[in-house]
Structure 1
Amino acid sequence: MPTEVILPKVDMDMETGQISRWYAKEGDSVSKGQLLFEIETDKAAMEVDAPASGVLRDVKAAEGTVVPVGQCVAWIYAEGEDYVAAASKPDVAEPAVSRKAVEPAALVPAKVVTESLQVAPATQSEGVRATPLARRIARESGIDLASVAGSGPKGRIQRKDVEASARPADAKPAVVIPVAAKTGDAPLHTVWLRQGNDPARVPFVLIHGFGSDLNSWRPMLAGTTLDNPILAIDLPGHGESSREIPADIDSIAALVEQTIATHHAGPVVVAAHSFGAAVAAKVAARGNLDIRALTLIAPAGLGPEINGAFLQGFVRARSEPSLLAWMKLLVQDESLLTKSFVKATLAQSQDEGLRGAQQLVADRFFADGTQVFDIRRNLAGLIIPVRVIFGAADRIIPAAHASGLPGDIAVHVFAGTGHMPQLEQREKVVRILREISRSVQ
């Protein structure tokens, strides 16, 4: 029997979600665990994997559609399984076709759902990007969304934007919350991965490692209960940031610093991985931002050794087999290298400009397979809480580099873990971040 694909509940108080992107289309063959679609709520963006292998059929919710939790958005038919077109199916869904079936009332056709959630013309304009909660508040307040400036990613209108529009000009907000600037205002590409359950909390700033991008943090955040707003940054030569590579790490730190300041003027907590962790340490040491705490995951810059063969092999790899061979060095548990993860990384490898920029990063900062910079002095001068996290089985940067750090820096070394503790020990890393968040409020 075909398997339902339903809209999952990713927040405790979530009632609806907007499908922001499909990664497969009608008639595509998909594999279980493959990245299928992305949903957005007012608090989070969440990637959803295919629950079964087969052929994707009857995609009911187009990109931009707001769907109730539990609603069926598509079906997956096993290879060779007889398919009956949606037009000839009964109007009432059959809840017995899948072990994931929900109550029939939640399985109304997508068209009906869309119509029931439509906003009156006075509060919804064609092409306006807004979260479901922002649309509801606008409808109830009689506000035309076309007149509201969005502060979210790509100008998307958030709850706070609608509330600010409704507030008298001389009134002051109850709390100060982060406001994302337009993309052109900051030197590096950024995305608010979460607006947070409690906007009064100090935001997290996340910085990825070499060869990655800001989306690499999404698996760590999936299903977690961090209440903080979360801003993620693409380093130069990575993701959607500029391909121009600064001459030294201090110059990269200055770009990161300017980017954070553009998006948020108050205190922040910074968590970063690998090469990004070295950049984060430099940013903290510069002292130009109000950084309340620092978490460095498998940080570069604590010693000269690094797996130079991995850096060069990863940058040169253009086929899935060659790329996967190097990616296996990142983790101890190879099951974490999901098809969607490998597919996304492979897509980046086809961008010659991107890989050329990353080759320059490798040549400039890891010349001859050596880390040519040092962050120990930077860490020694910090008076904020610092935590360093390593995997004992890291095959890229030796966990032994964590030795000899100042005694007031907390060091966590996880057994049976490679270069990506944020994936391999996700719950423990998130718990550390949650503890840090509570300590700086």
Structure 2
Amino acid sequence: MPVEVILPKVDMDMETGRISRWYAKDGDAVTKGELLFEIETDKAAMEVDAPASGTLRDVSAAEGATVPVGQAVAWIFAEGEEYTPTGKPDASPAGAPAAVPVETAKSAPAPAPVSTAKRSTASETRDDHGIRATPLARRLAAKAGLKLAGIPGSGPKGRITRKDVETNIATTGQAAPVAKPATAAAATAASLAHTPLLHAVWLREGLDASAVPLVLIHGFGADLNSWRPLFAGVQVDSPVLALDLPGHGHSTRAVPENLDAIAEQVERTLEANRIGPFVLAGHSFGSAVAATLAARGNADVRALALIAPAGLGPEINGAFLEGFVRARSEASLMPWLKQLVTDESLLTRPFVNATLAQSADEGLRAAQKAIVDSYFADGTQTFDIRPALAASRVPTRVIFGAADRIIPAAHTAGLPGEIATHVFAAAGHMPQLERREQVFRIIQELVRASA
């Protein structure tokens, strides 16, 4: 079945986005994870990767078009998959909605200027010699000690991409220095080589290429895009990498049997992205994974930010988990979404639409049901991260909303004295949305202290 390419949300208030550039055209072969198009809003710009490999078809929004969030802008057909041109409404691919007219560049209002310093990404930059390369490609090349002039570019007009740099590193044997603790054994490295990678996206390239990166792990039922509102309209010095947990987003639907196995997948993904020392932030179930990863000692975690972490006590809102994975309509989904926050205005139309789109993916929801059955059996958290936190030696901040209706804020009781705890009044399970500025500041403090 063809894969839908939609216009994603950059922040919670985003209703539309302007497609500023396509990097592939109708009929081109594309590879999952490669740069596909760029969008702009009045707050930020973002590069969007191809969600699958295949042939790009039915591009319905030209450069300059303003498109509603969640609308399909193209489809990707797998090799050998039957394709019928969509010249008429009834010829659309199976499962594809009828085309919705988009506002063209001629009728679209001019977008607000986007400050280069505050862009989430840049489509490309040039050095003094006019070499085209993405910011991430430049950063990887600099870390590996490579000259861009010696790397062939596979992108449009010879643009050097991350893939080109990584291919060159693999060919020449030059690799970016990745700091690893002495406790990382050769057996662990061999195990990681056979561990599936998770889907990961650089949300920010960062203004300082030498800064310690920030790695983000989302919570249950979300995906890496859930972090975008935290960074909307703000300046970020360090690179930011977000990933999809197994059973979520575009990662594998196979659910590992324990937190260690998930942490191993994260470790493998970080190695593939050549991450050295980094600061790690997680939300809810993602916090449990983050704490486990830090305690394992295989990755160079310099600090931890755990937001509404799971695994500090047995209690959890089992009705929410079961209701969330069962919901297939807005009417059945909204009562559960409202339990996430105290301020229901944060449940914007793009947020609800994106969650509904996920609920239509039966394979995705089946994987998440498996997570509920395994990790939250009978409405109980069946794992405990307190030993991991006790074993970790990195600076750690725990952040909770006092009005959390999913995981009780009272679980912060009894944490080791060196762990700083922040409990925000009138905030629910997502303080990164309801207390965005404060949470962002806490994370930034950890990043700067780790430099």
Task: Select 1:292's aligned residue among 302, 306, 317.
Answer: 302
Look up the SS of the partner of 1:141 in the other structure: coil
Task: Select 1:165's aligned residue among 138, 148, 151.
Answer: 148
Is 1:189 equivalent to 2:199 in the alignment?
A: yes
Tell me, in whole angstroms, the C-alpha distance in 2 between the residues paired with 1:199 and 1:220.
Answer: 21
Once the two structures are TM-superposed, the CA of residue 248 in structure 1 deviates from its matched residue by 1.0
Tell me, in whole angstroms, the C-alpha distance in 2 between the residues paired with 1:87 and 1:404.
Answer: 58
Tell me, in whole angstroms, the C-alpha distance in 2 between the residues paired with 1:86 and 1:409.
Answer: 52
Task: Select 1:349's aligned residue among 348, 355, 359.
Answer: 359
Where does residue 247 of structure 1 map in the other structure?
Answer: 257
| 2:342–2:428 Cα contact (<8 Å) kept | yes
| 2:401–2:424 Cα contact (<8 Å) kept | yes
Look up the SS of the partner of 2:410 in the other structure: helix
Task: Select 1:366's aligned residue among 376, 379, 383.
Answer: 376
Once the two structures are TM-superposed, the CA of residue 325 in structure 1 deviates from its matched residue by 1.1
Look up the SS of the partner of 1:354 in the other structure: helix
| 1:392–1:399 Cα contact (<8 Å) kept | yes
Q: State the aligned residue count.
A: 337
- Between the aligned residues of both structures, percent identity stands at 54
Look up the SS of the partner of 2:304 in the other structure: strand
Q: Any stretches of 5+ residues in structure 2 without a counterpart?
A: 22-34, 44-59, 69-102, 114-120, 152-167, 180-193
- Offset from partner CA, 1:284-315 (integer Å, 9 cap, x none): 00000110000000000000000000000000
Look up the SS of the partner of 1:250 in the other structure: helix
Aligned CA-pair RMSD: 3.9
Once the two structures are TM-superposed, the CA of residue 372 in structure 1 deviates from its matched residue by 0.4
Task: Select 1:315's aligned residue among 298, 305, 325.
Answer: 325
Task: Select 2:124's aligned residue among 118, 133, 136.
Answer: 133
Cα distance change of structure 1 residues 74 and 376 upon mapping to structure 2, 3 Å threshold:
closer
Is 1:198 equivalent to 2:178 in the alignment?
A: no
Where does residue 57 of structure 1 map in the other structure?
Answer: none
Greater shift in the superposed pair: 385-394 or 257-266: 257-266
Where does residue 226 of structure 2 map in the other structure?
Answer: 216
Look up the SS of the partner of 1:37 in the other structure: strand
Look up the SS of the partner of 2:266 in the other structure: helix
| 1:307–1:397 Cα contact (<8 Å) kept | yes
- Offset from partner CA, 1:36-60 (integer Å, 9 cap, x none): 1267899xx877489xxxxxxxxxx
Look up the SS of the partner of 1:271 in the other structure: strand
Is 1:233 equivalent to 2:213 in the alignment?
A: no
Is 1:37 equivalent to 2:17 in the alignment?
A: yes
Where does residue 24 of structure 2 map in the other structure?
Answer: none
Cα distance change of structure 1 residues 88 and 194 upon mapping to structure 2, 3 Å threshold:
closer
Is 1:340 equivalent to 2:350 in the alignment?
A: yes
Once the two structures are TM-superposed, the CA of residue 131 in structure 1 deviates from its matched residue by 4.6
Once the two structures are TM-superposed, the CA of residue 264 in structure 1 deviates from its matched residue by 2.3
Is 1:279 equivalent to 2:289 in the alignment?
A: yes
Once the two structures are TM-superposed, the CA of residue 35 in structure 1 deviates from its matched residue by 2.6
| 2:216–2:282 Cα contact (<8 Å) kept | yes
Look up the SS of the partner of 2:441 in the other structure: helix
Letter in structure 2 aligned against 1:264 = R
| 1:276–1:299 Cα contact (<8 Å) kept | yes
Q: Any stretches of 5+ residues in structure 1 without a counterpart?
A: 1-19, 25-31, 51-61, 68-72, 77-84, 107-129, 179-183
Cα distance change of structure 1 residues 288 and 232 upon mapping to structure 2, 3 Å threshold:
same
Q: Any runs of at least 4 consecutive aligned residues in structure 1 with deviations exceeding 4 A, and if so which?
A: 20-24, 38-42, 62-65, 73-76, 85-89, 157-163, 167-170, 175-178
Letter in structure 1 aligned against 2:148 = S
| 2:18–2:67 Cα contact (<8 Å) kept | no
Letter in structure 1 aligned against 2:17 = F
Cα distance change of structure 1 residues 63 and 21 upon mapping to structure 2, 3 Å threshold:
farther
- Taking the TM superposition and a 5 Å limit, the aligned residue runs for 1:19-58 are 22=7, 33=13, 35-37=15-17, 48=41
Cα distance change of structure 1 residues 33 and 288 upon mapping to structure 2, 3 Å threshold:
closer
Per the normalisation by structure 1, the TM-score is 0.67
Cα distance change of structure 1 residues 86 and 205 upon mapping to structure 2, 3 Å threshold:
closer
Tell me, in whole angstroms, the C-alpha distance in 2 between the residues paired with 1:88 and 1:356.
Answer: 44
Tell me, in whole angstroms, the C-alpha distance in 1 between the residues paired with 2:374 and 2:291.
Answer: 18
Once the two structures are TM-superposed, the CA of residue 346 in structure 1 deviates from its matched residue by 0.2
Cα distance change of structure 1 residues 185 and 303 upon mapping to structure 2, 3 Å threshold:
closer
Once the two structures are TM-superposed, the CA of residue 348 in structure 1 deviates from its matched residue by 0.2
Once the two structures are TM-superposed, the CA of residue 164 in structure 1 deviates from its matched residue by 3.5
Tell me, in whole angstroms, the C-alpha distance in 1 between the residues paired with 2:105 and 2:216.
Answer: 46
Where does residue 439 of structure 2 map in the other structure?
Answer: 429
Where does residue 109 of structure 1 map in the other structure?
Answer: none
Once the two structures are TM-superposed, the CA of residue 141 in structure 1 deviates from its matched residue by 2.5
Look up the SS of the partner of 1:323 in the other structure: helix
- Offset from partner CA, 1:2-35 (integer Å, 9 cap, x none): xxxxxxxxxxxxxxxxxx97469xxxxxxx9553
| 2:7–2:67 Cα contact (<8 Å) kept | no
Per the normalisation by structure 2, the TM-score is 0.66
| 1:207–1:277 Cα contact (<8 Å) kept | yes
